[in-house]
Amino acid sequence: QVQLVESGGGLVQAGGSLRLSCAASGGLFSRYTMGWFRQAPGKEREFVAAISWDGGSSYYGDSVKGRFTIARDNAKNTVYLQMNSLKPDDTAVYYCARHRTGWGTMQGEREYDYWGQGTQVTVSS
């Protein structure tokens, strides 16, 4: 059974930084594209970033380009999301997820098969 566990969320002031981690177990982590999504209260889940199985390709949602960076360490079965220049609009629950195939837009929720429970990120103004 694949398990994804996010950590690193918290409260930060606008302009600050956080690094989220997602530890994977129970599957062949190094073979899969991984992604991050977020969901703010009253809003739909939004694509944030994705990274290919080998780290060679990365993808970002328009709202986070230039501020967030996704990375992975296959030896540690972990994917990271470095978030800089945080804004109050970044407040959300952040989820990591495993992509089904590694092919597609990378931005659709249905392209992912396993999800973590999420970690709360709150950015104060």
Distance of alpha carbon 15 from alpha carbon 86, whole angstroms: 5
Q: Kindly report the average pLDDT of the chain as a whole number.
A: 96
Residue 112: the pLDDT is 97
Percent of the chain with pLDDT over 90: 92
pLDDT at residue 38 greater than cutoff 90: yes
Q: Running DSSP on this structure, what letter comes out for residue 108?
A: -
pLDDT computed for residue 21 by the predictor: 98
pLDDT over 90 at 67, yes or no: yes
The answer to whether the beta carbons of residues 123 and 88 sit under 8 Å apart is: yes
CA distance 98 to 123: 26
Select from 29, 43, 111, 40 the least CA-distant residue to 77.
29
- Copy the structure tokens of residue 54: 């080998």
Average pLDDT value for residue range 61-88: 98
Does pLDDT of 27 surpass 90?
A: no
